[in-house]
Amino acid sequence: MEMRKSKIAYIFLLIAIVVFLYFFLVVREGEPLLFDSTISSYLTHFFTESSYPFFKLFNVLGSTIGTGIISLFVIGLLWVIKRDYAGMALLALAISLGNLLNMWLKEIVGRPRPEVEHLVNVKSFSFPSGHAMMGMILYMLIAYFIMNNVRSNVTKWFVVIMAGMMILFMGISRIVLQVHYPSDVAAGLALGFIWTFIWITLYEIVKGKLKRR
């Protein structure tokens, strides 16, 4: 599956761009969002304290250390199994530069965290969510690599569902743990998709040129 040849991918790209730009512009105005209060209220009431340990696991997986360890493991697999040096570079650059982009945007927007008790420690600004953005980048890339190396449609759908669940729970965890507004998460997911789309497109261009040599 080539990302740049998929019409569905371009539709999602357009949606992601609209979502990110909308929340970026609205959040910079500093006004409270009904979107945030409605979703936060629903999720914090739906998920009780018994679910906190589960969501705290995603806090660890989505941390800089957690993302780094998983990324290094995948890079190792790409080297051992495929000798895919372009893929290794893709993952390393997408993750590292994506993290820098996220930190830069946090400083530009300067949105404070929700004014409630945080259930995990946080230090940076709130918008966009780093866990949501990096989770989208990491698990979307993992799914992309796996789907390009399996033939079974059942396996491909399984990979898509599992990656989607990881990304979804990563985003939900930030709201349940009360460290992000839903708009932070939505913008993080959208930006993560845009960022990953760009890097996969570059990867496919490079791979195409290497094959023609």
The model's pLDDT over 93-136, given as tens digits with 9 standing for 90+, comes to 999 999 999 999 999 999 999 988 778 888 889 999 999 999 99
AA identity, residue 179: V
Using a CB cutoff of 8 Å and minimum separation of 24, what contacts does 149-154 make? 149/82
* Catalytic, out of 106, 111, 131, 174: 131
Name the catalytic one among 102, 179, 180, 199.
180
Tell me, what's the pLDDT at 36?
Answer: 94
**Whole-number Å distance between alpha carbons of 120 and 117:** 9
Report phi then psi at 152, rounded to 5: -65, 125
* 180 is a catalytic site residue: yes
| 131 is a catalytic site residue | yes
Q: List Cα–Cα distances, 60 to 53, 57, 65, 208, in angstroms.
A: 11, 5, 8, 37
Q: Is 194 or 49 the better-scoring residue by pLDDT?
A: 194
Q: How many CB atoms lie within 10 A of CB 184?
A: 30
The total domain count for the chain is 1
Token representation of residue 89: 């570079």
pTM over cut 0.85: yes
Residue 38 belongs to domain spanning: 3-211
